[in-house]
Amino acid sequence: MKFITMIKKNIYAVTVFYSIPFILLNLLFGIAAAQDEEQGEEHIIDQVVAVVGKNIVLESDIENQYAQYRMQGGVSGSASEIRCKLLEDILYQKLMVAQAEFDSVVVNEGQVNSEMDRRISSFINQFGSQEKMEKYYGRKMVEIKAELFSIIEEQLLAQQVQQTIVSNITVTPSEIKSFYRSIPEDSIPLIKTEYVIAQIVKNPPISIEEKLRVKEQLMELRKRILKGENFSTMAILYSEDPGSAKKGGELGFYGRGQLYPEFEGVAFKLKEGEVSNIVETEAGYHIIQMIERKGDFVNVRHILLSPKVSPVDLLKARNQLDSIAQLIRDDSITFDEAVNQFSDADDKNSGGLLVNPYSMGTTFEPEQLDPQVSFTIEKMTVGEVSNPVPMKTEDHKDAYRILLLKEKTQPHRANLHDDYSRIQEWALQQKKMVAIDEWVDDKIKDTYVRIIESYQSCQFDHDWILKK
């Protein structure tokens, strides 16, 4: 097997097959009726396909996951092959749940409810509203929660068992080297160009006059709405929230803990149709109108106006960074010293290093960078400091920064000298996968497993159909 395929399979096995929720891809499964797309007919199947210990697997479990898989466009292979793989995914989970029961592993109701609220909020956002979600699944929210509770409880139990299996697994330097040497030369992955970048940021202050101007403008809009003008129209015309303005300021349903605390504190107290006073958050100033509330979820409209940094203050920030960059180039101050003395960002303790939100590390591939940063960095040499570059802060305010290119790698085949930590992670993932595979093989022998005849022709990764 080619190395790159093997690695993908290994990581997939550890992080997907064994890290529930498998192929759910953030969609709810096990609630909608299965749909036979090839026949164009909708039907509910409740045949027991398999039994693992005391836990059963229904045909509808497989069909619901298959339907969701197709919705995501993730179909590769024949329908029967996919269904077989989905069945094995479920068998893994049921086996781990059986072990959790044997070991008296439990998850508390709070853990389940917290995870359920997070997922339901995500589902509602994907569907656009709670009503659309309820219509799609043919269930009221209380029914959805009731059915989802046991699904999530099983998933969390399986996660705990998986973590127990792999928690003490580590790899030694000799194992890392052996793993690397086992890779066929023509299968060693190609590592793209990567950058390590540091920054010094200047956030120009927003004047009191500008804040007062925005609040007065928003208060005037509120007065017009209270006199009868349409909130949605006002939001389309004036709101500076690009995500909601085109929808008349409507945000869709959100639960507690998902919005700015100041915004949420006001939104949840409003009555239907009521318009709030001005609310200040990191994003700026808002007025909010309640559309409806359902239990712990609210759907509101809002109009956002954000105070702007003046062009004069922006120019001052740029000029200040110009001077700082020149001091660094003249060796009058080190970049790290300049970060500590001058940067307005919250990354002083790390020397201004940018953190990759995809990996949470400090290396970036070109496509992972902000376009403005990528355009600037690609022209620089290691150790070079850029001219001031315009940016938006996390709260969407205008600012400037200078960038230091600390490291740059050239595209290359992975090697132990330059990519040790990456290879270490690959080796660790493989060792975890082997440990879990061995655990599964061992547990199958001691666990009652029965699969109906129509699925016994599946090409499983493990021998679930043992002669007992």
What is the bridge-based pairing of β-strands 48-52 and 55-58? antiparallel
- Return the higher-pLDDT residue of 355 and 18: 355
Q: Does the structure show a pLDDT above 50 at 9?
A: no
Q: Does the structure show a pLDDT above 80 at 375?
A: yes
Q: Supply the pLDDT for residue 135.
A: 81
User: Residues 263-285: what's their mean pLDDT?
Assistant: 93
Q: Tell which residue, 242, 241, 214, 237, has the closest CA to residue 225.
A: 237
User: Residues 292-310: what's their mean pLDDT?
Assistant: 90
CA distance 282 to 262: 9
Confidence of residue 16 (pLDDT cuts 50, 70, 90): very low
Tell me the residue length of the chain: 468
Q: Supply the pLDDT for residue 78.
A: 83
Q: Supply the pLDDT for residue 25.
A: 28
Ranking 34-38, 292-296, 297-301 by mean pLDDT, the lowest is: 34-38
Average confidence score pLDDT of the chain: 85
Give the sign of the dihedral formed by CA 218, CA 221, CA 227, CA 232: negative
Which range has the top average pLDDT, 15-19, 117-121, 163-167, 255-259? 163-167
CA distance 400 to 393: 9
Q: Supply the pLDDT for residue 347.
A: 83
CA distance 425 to 232: 51
- Return the higher-pLDDT residue of 467 and 398: 398
Confidence of residue 1 (pLDDT cuts 50, 70, 90): very low
**Are 335 and 404 a contacting pair, CB within 8 Å?**
yes
**Are 288 and 263 a contacting pair, CB within 8 Å?**
yes
Which SS3 state, helix, strand or coil, does residue 449 take?
strand
Query: In the 3-class helix/strand/coil scheme, how is 179-238 assigned residue by residue?
Result: HHHCCCHHHCCEECCEEEEEEEEECCCCCHHHHHHHHHHHHHHHHHHHCCCCHHHHHHHH
CA distance 155 to 369: 34
> 193-205+310-410 has which CATH code?
3.10.50.40
**CA triple 123-125-131, angle to 5 deg:** 75
Q: Does the structure show a pLDDT above 80 at 125?
A: no
Q: CATH 3.10.50.40 in the chain: give the residue spans.
A: 193-205+310-410, 208-305
> 3-180+422-455 has which CATH code?
1.10.4030.10
Q: Which tokens go with 409?
A: 């790698």
Query: In the 3-class helix/strand/coil scheme, how is 313-366 assigned residue by residue?
Result: HHHHHHHHHHHHHHHHHCCCCCHHHHHHHHCCCCCHHHCCECCCCCCCCCCECH
**Are 2 and 187 a contacting pair, CB within 8 Å?**
yes
- Tell me how far CA of residue 216 lies from CA of 149, 219, 220, 223, in angstroms: 47, 5, 6, 11
CA distance 351 to 353: 6
DSSP state of 468: -
Q: Supply the pLDDT for residue 67.
A: 76
Share of the chain above pLDDT 90, in %: 57
User: Residues 111-131: what's their mean pLDDT?
Assistant: 79
CA distance 410 to 307: 43
Q: Does the structure show a pLDDT above 80 at 236?
A: yes
Confidence of residue 131 (pLDDT cuts 50, 70, 90): confident
Q: Does the structure show a pLDDT above 90 at 31?
A: no
Q: In what order do the strands lie in the sheet with 48-52?
A: 55-58, 48-52, 449-451
Confidence of residue 6 (pLDDT cuts 50, 70, 90): very low
| Letter string b/e over residues 213-229, b meaning 16 or more CB atoms within 10 A of that residue's CB | ebbeebeebbeebeeee
Q: Does the structure show a pLDDT above 70 at 410?
A: yes
Interval 148-202: pLDDT, tens: 888 889 889 999 999 999 999 999 999 999 999 999 998 999 999 999 999 999 9
Q: Does the structure show a pLDDT above 90 at 427?
A: yes
User: Residue 352 region, left (φ>0) first, then alpha (ψ -120 to 50), else beta?
Assistant: left
pTM of the model: 0.62
Which SS3 state, helix, strand or coil, does residue 248 take?
coil
User: Residues 311-336: what's their mean pLDDT?
Assistant: 95
Domain 208-305 classification at class level: alpha beta
Share of the chain above pLDDT 70, in %: 88
Q: CATH 1.10.4030.10 in the chain: give the residue spans.
A: 3-180+422-455
**CA triple 433-434-440, angle to 5 deg:** 90
| Letter string b/e over residues 289-305, b meaning 16 or more CB atoms within 10 A of that residue's CB | bbbebeeebbbbbbbbb
Which SS3 state, helix, strand or coil, does residue 429 take?
helix
Interval 60-88: pLDDT, tens: 888 877 876 776 665 567 888 899 999 99
User: Residues 102-128: what's their mean pLDDT?
Assistant: 83
Q: Supply the pLDDT for residue 8.
A: 35
Q: Does the structure show a pLDDT above 90 at 243?
A: no
